Amino acid sequence: MGESQGGESPPVIDGAFARWLAGRAGQLLMEVRAEVGHDDPAALKAAGDKRAHDFLMSELARHRPADAVLSEEQQDARGVLAGDGTRLDASRVWIIDPLDGTREFSEEGRTDWAVHVALWGAGCAHPNRLAAGAVALPAQHRVIATDHPPAYPPMPVASATGGKLRLAASRSRPPAFLSALAEEIGAELVPMGSAGAKIAAVIGGEVDAYVHAGGQYEWDSAAPVAVATATGLHASRVDGSALEYNGANPRLPDLVVCRKDLAPRLLSALRGHLQVP
């Protein structure tokens, strides 16, 4: 659990370090679940958010002290940065969500919650400048990361045999247009919790795509998008433009992640439902 938790030194390479951070934060969250229990969901959510955030911030300060951090749990994280020279002028920014899918974390038996750790680099050649990323799915006993990206996903059996496409969708806040989009392209919706879990399902070939519009922040997608693109999947805004991170305003309200063969069809359909130029 790191130098402060047993003497283990973390990996030096950023991708492996991201995997290390996400995996250990996930272990802590499993311990919090066991310690606090599910009788008081609010207390469990609060304890999980704090424990994972404190761990990630402490280890980043210890091992990457020159880097900036954008975390969901930071005070005023959702505000527009006024240009104090800290994050916007940094060449390396860790974009983290210590606990994505807080509601699912507090529900006993659910496995669709995650830890997100991504690194944005000013000098990174990738269009979204995500230099590294890792997503831990502790209750699924999985960590996927850019240091050893998963293989390109197989086409889901239903899709490969002429059945309906499967679209991951929010179980609590599905976009209003999604049902109509699914009907048009012959798809069924698969409700899930965390955005990380949804994109991990695309990466694993359990669903064909994840489409979201109407409200997210950079920390909701940075890490899973880093892993998805390292895998070879398509990831963009719903208008097909590149996802951009470390903006003054951390809102990044929409995205689509899918297999590359499916992207033209999905983006074309989205133009009709969202009036994308």
Binding-site members for Mg(2+) are 72, 97, 99-100, 220
Name the residue type at position 268: S
Q: How far lies 35's CA from each of 38, 40, 47, 141, 168, in Å?
A: 10, 12, 10, 19, 31
Pairing, β 142-145 against β 130-137: antiparallel
Q: Please report, in range form, the residues annotated as the binding site.
A: 72, 97, 99-100, 220
Outline where DSSP puts E strands in 28-186.
68-71, 92-100, 114-121, 130-137, 142-145, 165-170
Of 114, 20, 96, 123, the residue nearest 63 (C-alpha): 20
Say if residues 113 and 119 touch (Cβ distance below 8 Å). no
Contact 243, 225 (CB under 8 A): yes
For residue 32, give every residue at least 6 positions away whose Cβ sits within 8 Å of its Cβ, in sequence order, or none.
44, 47, 48, 51
Amino acid 217 reads Y
